[in-house]
Structure 1
């Protein structure tokens, strides 16, 4: 039997309980302290609003009917408003007509556990951010000076200087977020092919004619909700890795995937993006640690590109995986798509 609210208040384990429509009806002191917010500010808030990656929505939909056994949610990320994200292993069970959430905070992870990624990656990137700001400012200034010297009719030249200028602005904004963390930008509808075209422009400027870039798009795909800049960064990291692995051809393929499993959830419809190349492949000794920060197969590599790509994909409630052998490597992004509305 579920303990009454006064009993829960005496426990050091964080608990929150909801009404029948999954709005927070109360929480114990441990839960409020863990989230760093007064308990009264949580009252009436949808429980799903606390899940930083939207991970509770599908769970509540799937578990709409009462069940005898609680549902276990591994490494659930929760935050209040613009507060810091906290991770926990959680149990979600029925309480009266609503829900009871029991959170077991997870503060430390084994060195090889990808769940330690956000804190480790954030620390590593913040160290690099200070070193990158001045070179980026120099690049932006040089691009603007070059644009003024170009012939007004040189369309290709102006397109390239505009690309340099736009990318330095985007990267400077990324560094600003690393040095002075701010709330994540709200996701907005976007066409994934617009993101991919931006990435291919970067790849064409980086690799020139040395690499053949192939588009294999499904034009019928609907828009997704996301952050275009973050998805550009993640996808560009994957394409650039392929180029640096000696690929002579890189293919970007988009498709709709039905009944796609992302983590512990099965989504009716998802966007599948395959980035394939014919390069050297992933070294066998890195296979189990590839997405951890500071792990690289190249002496000059930072080991941050794939770690950042995985973090961005997680921000979009998706999954990133790969398969590789010499001459054929495929990185796959799965991102949930909205379910079609019946006419």
Structure 2
């Protein structure tokens, strides 16, 4: 097998680097690459480069696109079956003979944990905002209850009652969020839920809000069973992701569910996991925001709060899962991975 002409200089780098042939199979690497992966080079040679990605399909899809020369990676998980994955930022670049992968291990510059990223001053501000929201929410709830009693006297108008039920449920959910901001409490015990019921509830929110010129497509796996979780929190997370797509100018959004076996999530191997994908054809994630997208106060819009994606990321963590994304203009995919082997019915520690 031939190696790229640049290989001799790459051998001296401390940065993990591997290169492939034209078929994107690994034909060489510098000593730092197998050392970082924690396995011998023989297990890597001849492997398809895309097969090293254990969460998502960003590499595989990129390598299939002949017109693209460079792929920027953000905290990608790389590994081989039976071994713990390694996380890195980096680049994949086309060469004369194939592809070059340059990995910058995440351990060398750990990203801030979004769960710990809210400073005390911001927490105090959020508590003040929550206090101001309590009275309007109480007024909205009272008005909704009054309208519901009037609708009950008109049994022929089931559509109106359905919308009022949705309003009441959303007011209750917002009230719970306000309570959590005012007095953070332990997570509620998880209870069996149907992920498609969560997604359908989000679709009803899109319809009820109105004002969006968007087509939402369902791509569900109907065989997915119930699993323990917090339906309200997952609704909030998915709604934030869908709303993010709407505000990015998407004309089509796809909600997709699949089950995968033997998947690594956050450095743990799970026998069975649920994959929820929110796919949109909007403007995509700006490059300057990609590395910090899940941190609070990071937003691509002047009027954005930068809290929606941070909250969605936190909800994924509460379910022992992960939230990742890949994006280019016209095609963005947020992937929520949720383990399905949690049978204790309780939130993670």
Range of TM-score over shorter length: 0.5 to 0.7
Alignment partner of 2:182 out of 169, 179, 183: 179
The alpha-carbon distance between structure 1 residues 319 and 259, as it changes in their structure 2 partners (threshold 3 A), is same
Q: Which runs of 5+ in 1 are unaligned?
A: 1-61, 64-70, 72-109
Is 2:286 the partner of 1:257?
A: no
Residue number among 145, 154, 159 corresponding to 1:156 in the alignment:
159
Q: Please say if residues 114 and 310 of structure 2, whose CA atoms lie closer than 8 Å, have aligned partners that are also in contact.
A: no
Assess if the C-alpha contact under 8 Å between 1:269 and 1:339 holds in 2: no
Are residues 1:315 and 2:314 paired?
no
Decide whether the 8 Å contact of 2:212 with 2:246 is kept in 1.
no
- Pick aligned residue for 2:292 from 268, 286, 289: 289
Q: What's the TM-score, normalizing by structure 1?
A: 0.63
Question: Counterpart in 2 of 1:332?
Answer: 335
Q: CA deviation at 1:143?
A: 2.3
Cα offset, 1:332, TM superposition:
0.2
1:183-222 to 2 correspondences below 5 Å:
183-207=186-210, 210-222=213-225
Aligned to 2:144: 143
Distance (Å, rounded) in 2 between the aligned partners of 1:187 and 1:122:
26
Output aligned runs, 1:221-236, within 5 Å.
221-236=224-239
How many angstroms does 1:147 deviate by? 3.2
1:130-167 CA-to-partner distances (Å, cap 9, x unmatched) read 23222222322332333344444222111111101111
Matched, 1:113 2:116: no
Gaps of 5+ in 2: 1-81, 85-108, 344-349
Q: CA deviation at 1:209?
A: 6.4
TM-score by length of structure 2 reads 0.62
Give a deviation string over 1:272-303, Cα, whole Å, max 9, x none.
00001111111121111110011111111111
| Aligned length in residues | 235
Deviation of the 1:183 alpha carbon:
2.0
